[in-house]
Structure 1
Amino acid sequence: MEHPERIGRYRIEGLLGVGSFATVWLGHDEVLDARVAIKVLAENWSHDLRVRERFVEEARLLWRLEDERLARVHAFDELPDGRPYAVLAWADGGSLRGRLESGPLDVERCLWLLAEIAAGVQVLHDAQIVHRDLTPGNVLFRSRLAGDEQVLVADLGLAKELAAASGLTARAGTPGFMAPEQDHPLATVDRQTDVYALGRIGVVLLTESGDVDGGWRLRPGVSDGVGDVLRTATAQDPADRYPDASAFLTALADAAPPGGPHAPRPSSRQEAAGRGGAGRTRTLARWWGRRRVVAAGVSLALAGAAVMAWSWWERDTSVAASDDDRVRVRLPEGWQAAGSGWSGRTDGDGAREPALVVSPDPGRWATDTSVPGAFIGLSPTLAAETTPEDLVAAQVHGQCEAPESAEVDAGGVTWVVATFAGCRSGKATIVEAASSAPSDAGLLYAQIAPPASTDPARFVESMLAGIEVGPP
């Protein structure tokens, strides 16, 4: 392959990769003193109008979406021979495929990576776009000024808007990551096709065998809940999978404890909004590097739930935190409580720490956007790991406006509260709150989706005032 000296105004320093439809060169922008990736349509495809349009459409999508989770387009032009090329931000950290060639990655890192990838795909799904070719080779890394890395979803050459994705006649995708329906030309290709690929990437990252039939063996340190998420995502029938990347991301978050490193970052716009706020908001912004998505709520196993109820507001329900303490929740009229503990949070004996879902319909509150509710948990182990400020700062809802943060005194307890409003998917308003329980009983955490017909601030304050910790 001939090594060009220049492409447009860019001096070519080397070859980054060769694909079926394009070649990617490492270029140097001498004006800005910056390296870029230059993707050039392969010469043997330059006269195929379908492939050429696919190449151009990828650049258009990236330009239109302009999200830091996607490979960004800086410019688009043509070579003297008429072949189009796109100038992209250089992913200096290489690809996930390249990293996996050196051996398996740390489990915590894998969980974080899978969540980051899903968050990138969610950007596409929110824009009514299906990727259709998610693979480790299309997951790239770029260094950030803060010293960490940004995960990028790349190679949208096969991406299609959902309205046009049904009934495609060309087989598209990469074997091993293609959903079964992609082998059938007349099948519908939609968000659940990408969910399958997300599950397959998760299988590669988090299992020892990588078998697609669900008979894999999870790597040590991977919970059974995560295994269930992967099995659902890779179901043969699309109807049995999660409906989109957002639902996959929520399920993945449910399967691991909050506060860990396995969580998507907020966008730079969110960070900027946090820095532009006052008081508590600026404080919380410092901690947004260690966050976790809890997008719509925490799913709890309802079977065998030990729930006690009696009259208080309408009534109050409690679960044991220890032999000496219980967490009590005062219920709004018409609400119910259910729960068998905090999924992913266990005490020294391996038992789940206490948690409840309270809602007019606890079974539907996490999946039905119209159902209000709350998840409330008490964790002695979290109290040893983090603080209320840090835990609240670790919660991010990327589809909502930047949060308003404050301290709220309710029921004699000081809560750190962040309110996410104007959410474009899921619940319209999500409130994250945490406090230190009295008598060093643990760290109290609450995620609340207020009813649409109420004043959110007043409802949340009443709900928090109704949470107590004390003897049985």
Structure 2
Amino acid sequence: MTAPLRIGPYAVERLLGVGSFATVWLGYDSVLDTRVAIKVLAENWSHDLRVRERFLDEARLLRRLEHERLIRVHTVGELPDGRPYAVLAWADRGSLRDRLAAGEIPASTALRLLGEICAGVAVLHRHGVVHRDLTPGNILFRSVGPDAEQVLIADLGLAKALAAASGLTARAGTPGYMAPEQDDPGAVVDTRADVYGLGRLGIRLLAADPPEARPASAEPSGGSPQLRLRDDVPAAVAAVLVRATAHHPAHRYPDASALHDALARAGRAAGQVPGAIAPAGPPPTGRRRYRSRLAGVVVVTVVAVGGVGAEPGGAGSGLPVVGTYTTGSLSVELPAGWSATGTTWAGQFDAGGEPEPALVMSPQPRRWAADPRLPGAFVGLSAATAARTTPAGFLAERTHGDCTPAPARTTRQAGVEWTVVAYRCDQGRPRVVESAGLHPGRAALVYVQITPPDDTTAFVDSLLAGVRVR
């Protein structure tokens, strides 16, 4: 990856990390003589309106909360190609993922660190926000003096207000740290999902090598906890972590504050009280490498906005055309004045591991996602999505939190039975239409997201009628 020389007014020094949804660069602010982290939306997601919404929502949320335990946002901007970027405070002492890779963290330090993380997540919970992706890569450290540091909670791009965190929100989270209900489209996701993630972080920090059991299937109802921690960890901490990672949300602590208090009580007997971490210098080196082999855990770290589930996207290639446009097994008839560009459906792969086809069409297809004034549409075809859900179920994952939906309707166009949900929005694009149907000849889901030029169903139905699949 070639580093850009500048992003907005900031000189780019080096790459900090690459995730599924964004790239993070270290930049230099010459006016303030300070370094910053610049998060740029990945090019292959630039056409996805929902991912753009999440990306910008993270910056707005961090700005609104403005707390010392959360990563701070300075400003947002847009690249010449229309992709948004956010300028964040630089966490100059790295992440928890880095420290775990360097070696085992002493139990007393790890327990205090877990308390600091709980305290940071409790800030979110007090404001009615669920993070939903608490992983070692999302726990950062920033210098606050020559010998002190602050623990920061980062990457809130998947966080949602509690009012929206229900079965109608998109699946999100990292396997190994994601609560079981986050993989159920019909479940309610609330603060207890974060409690589960915090419990898994605690296990990663404190479990013996190798751990003897997975707490995801262990319930704290009678008997001794089935989780073996290191010898220097207070025995009562195991019971706290087992309860935090109970399979059923009702059996967990209600929120991060309650988990913090339980850890404090468990650690008090040994003089290890979480939540008031002592000033610490850079992470020590030379310790025995910590080998976590939690059964069934897959650790996936995303630098920027992480998530599970399908989203359309892709910068694409190919020359815009008029009349009709074809890419792979997708063909569309273009409305007057529109052109198209070929893309792939980011995150979607067929049985052979190849990206599944998609396209973007608009009067200016390469500007459509960035310019709310432009009408346009994303069209994608996915066998992988059809294998896991129905058209109605897929649309239920793709609600727009700041918009009001009309009742779902069905229409049959070009041999496809479409389910259509139209949204009216107070901010940004005034109308967004989500539609999905099944391929008439094989097991594949056809998805079309439309920002129409008018408020009639006639345009939407006409566009759907022009979608052909082979």
TM-score tier after normalising by the smaller chain length = 0.5 to 0.7
Q: In structure 2, what is the Cα distance between the partners aligned to 1:63 and 1:236?
A: 34
Q: Does 1:252 align with 2:263?
A: yes
* Distance apart, 1:232 and its partner CA: 0.6
Q: In structure 2, what is the Cα distance between the partners aligned to 1:191 and 1:248?
A: 11
1:8 partner amino acid: G
Deviations, residues 444-471 of structure 1 (Å, cap 9, x unaligned): xxxxxxxxxxxxxxxxxxxxxxxxxxxx
Residue 42 of structure 2 is matched in structure 1 by 42
C-alpha contact 2:263 2:274 (8 A) present in aligned 1: no
Q: Does 1:230 align with 2:241?
A: yes
C-alpha distance 61-183 of structure 1, shift in aligned 2 (>3 A)? same
Deviations, residues 139-198 of structure 1 (Å, cap 9, x unaligned): 001111262110011000100000000113422100000111111011000000000000
1:219 partner amino acid: R
Deviations, residues 386-439 of structure 1 (Å, cap 9, x unaligned): xxxxxxxxxxxxxxxxxxxxxxxxxxxxxxxxxxxxxxxxxxxxxxxxxxxxxx
Q: Does 1:241 align with 2:252?
A: yes
Aligned CA RMSD, in angstroms, stands at 1.8
Q: Pairwise mapping of residues 103-114 of structure 1 onto structure 2 (< 5 A)?
A: 103-114=103-114
2:257 partner amino acid: S
* Distance apart, 1:51 and its partner CA: 0.4
Over the matched positions of the two proteins, sequence identity in percent amounts to 65
Q: In structure 2, what is the Cα distance between the partners aligned to 1:114 and 1:56?
A: 29
Q: Pairwise mapping of residues 102-181 of structure 1 onto structure 2 (< 5 A)?
A: 102-145=102-145, 147-181=147-181
C-alpha contact 1:265 1:289 (8 A) present in aligned 2: no
Q: In structure 2, what is the Cα distance between the partners aligned to 1:17 and 1:164?
A: 30
C-alpha distance 18-262 of structure 1, shift in aligned 2 (>3 A)? farther
TM-score (norm 1): 0.55
C-alpha distance 165-239 of structure 1, shift in aligned 2 (>3 A)? same
Aligned residues: 269
1:200 partner SS:
helix
C-alpha contact 1:206 1:222 (8 A) present in aligned 2: yes
Q: Does 1:76 align with 2:87?
A: no
Q: In structure 2, what is the Cα distance between the partners aligned to 1:16 and 1:110?
A: 25
C-alpha contact 1:207 1:217 (8 A) present in aligned 2: yes
2:148 partner amino acid: D
2:157 partner SS:
coil
C-alpha contact 1:133 1:158 (8 A) present in aligned 2: yes
Residue 279 of structure 1 is matched in structure 2 by none
Residue 203 of structure 2 is matched in structure 1 by 203
* Distance apart, 1:224 and its partner CA: 1.4
Q: In structure 2, what is the Cα distance between the partners aligned to 1:222 and 1:258?
A: 11
Structure having greater relative contact order (Cα 8 Å, sep ≥ 6): 2
1:255 partner SS:
helix
Q: Pairwise mapping of residues 454-465 of structure 1 onto structure 2 (< 5 A)?
A: none
1:37 partner SS:
strand
1:101 partner SS:
helix
C-alpha distance 11-190 of structure 1, shift in aligned 2 (>3 A)? same
Residue 25 of structure 1 is matched in structure 2 by 25
Residue 87 of structure 1 is matched in structure 2 by 87
Runs in 1 of length 4+ with deviation above 4 angstroms? 258-262
Q: Does 1:59 align with 2:59?
A: yes
Q: Pairwise mapping of residues 68-467 of structure 1 onto structure 2 (< 5 A)?
A: 68-145=68-145, 147-208=147-208, 209-210=210-211, 211-213=213-215, 214=218, 215-257=226-268, 260=271, 262-265=273-276
C-alpha distance 265-217 of structure 1, shift in aligned 2 (>3 A)? closer
* Distance apart, 1:31 and its partner CA: 1.1
Q: In structure 1, what is the Cα distance between the partners aligned to 2:31 and 2:100?
A: 35
2:268 partner SS:
coil
